[in-house]
Amino acid sequence: MVQAVNRALTEAMAEDPAVILLGEDIGAAGGPFGATRGLLDRFGPERVRDTPISEAGLVGAAVGAALSGLKPVAEIMFMDFITLAMDALVNQAAKARFMFGGQRGVPMVLRTPHGGGLSAGPQHSQCLEAWLCHIPGLKVVCPATPADAQALLRSAIADPDPVVFVENKALYAMKGEVEDAPEAVPIGRARIARAGRDATIVAYGAAVHWANDAATTLAADGIEAEVIDLRSLQPWDESTVLESLARTHHLVIAQEAVEAFGVGAEIAARMADIGFDELDGPILRVGAPFTPVPFAKELERAYRPDAARIAAAVRRTLD
């Protein structure tokens, strides 16, 4: 997946000289996870710019660059550090098109990895995407496969408004097929990762793979679960979720983030509203407990959701 991200950046920069990169250690070091490796040598220091350790400064610079006609892709090396850039992102980038009467947007992308699984501790493992989905003017995407990482990043760079591109760092080493000329993946369109008839599991990021594993386990008991990969969290594809619910009549929503007040809560509330007549069981959520992410491997393993918890939720709603 990390190579797919690199490939999307390379293609976008080769096609459009307005695309520039900003971030900490993204140049010679190639980024903390190698996503920008080789881009400094190919495109030079004017377009691949190492910044000081100041998330507020680099995101503020990205907003200004976007308003000046460039298409910056800024990187915050851990999503936890987005706290330092919230003013530029939430109060400036997200509001610009509205405050300028639609005359000007902020065509920037903010790349940032989230999630646990690496024993990085409570300040380097958080999933904070629900914060950003709550802000009008921001788009938020979270791919689960290398192919979607490449295609969605290209769509994000081409978008005329700010997009937060969330990458699950536990998936960076994941392998998958990537086409030489991939079809465009519009922001806001989900995909059916696995077809089924008995229950719908909605997930995104790493949770998509847990959901697929849960569906395989359930299939051994004759339960065919449909897995939907949201891909885009804001906007999200409520029509695809509703169509699936109309087929299966049971809904489970899985996320790595803390369960309380999360993306899953919004989907559950919306489906309870527009899909109530389709429901034959309770809508259930699977997410992390309401506590910081533990550092110890054993505790982190217990903290993060997994396939077993998703499968248990499916059985519960069917019961």
Report how far residue 127's alpha carbon sits from residue 59's, in angstroms, rounded to the nearest whole number.
19
55 is a catalytic site residue = yes
Closest CA to 87 of 105, 52, 60: 60
Set 55, 167, 226, 278: catalytic member: 55
Query: Which amino acid is located at 291 in the chain?
Result: T
Q: Residue 192: beta bridge partners?
A: 228
Please enumerate in sequence order all residues whose Cβ is within 8 A of that of 236, keeping only pairs 6 or more positions apart, or say none.
Answer: 188, 190, 230, 263, 266, 267
Give the strand order in the sheet containing 48-50: 48-50, 19-23, 71-75, 109-114, 163-168, 139-141, 232-234
Give the phi and the psi of residue 154 in degrees, each rounded to 5. -65, -40
Report how far residue 109's alpha carbon sits from residue 73's, in angstroms, rounded to the nearest whole number.
5
Whether 33 contacts 113, CB under 8 Å = yes
Query: Which amino acid is located at 272 in the chain?
Result: A
Q: Residue 288: beta bridge partners?
A: 258
Set 75, 114, 124, 266: catalytic member: 124
DSSP-derived 3-state class of residue 13: helix
Cα of first residue to Cα of last residue in the chain, in angstroms, is 38
The conformation of residue 95, written as its DSSP 8-state character, comes to T
Report how far residue 131's alpha carbon sits from residue 125's, in angstroms, rounded to the nearest whole number.
15
The conformation of residue 182, written as its DSSP 8-state character, comes to P
Query: Which amino acid is located at 61 in the chain?
Result: A
Query: What residues are labeled active site?
Result: 55, 124
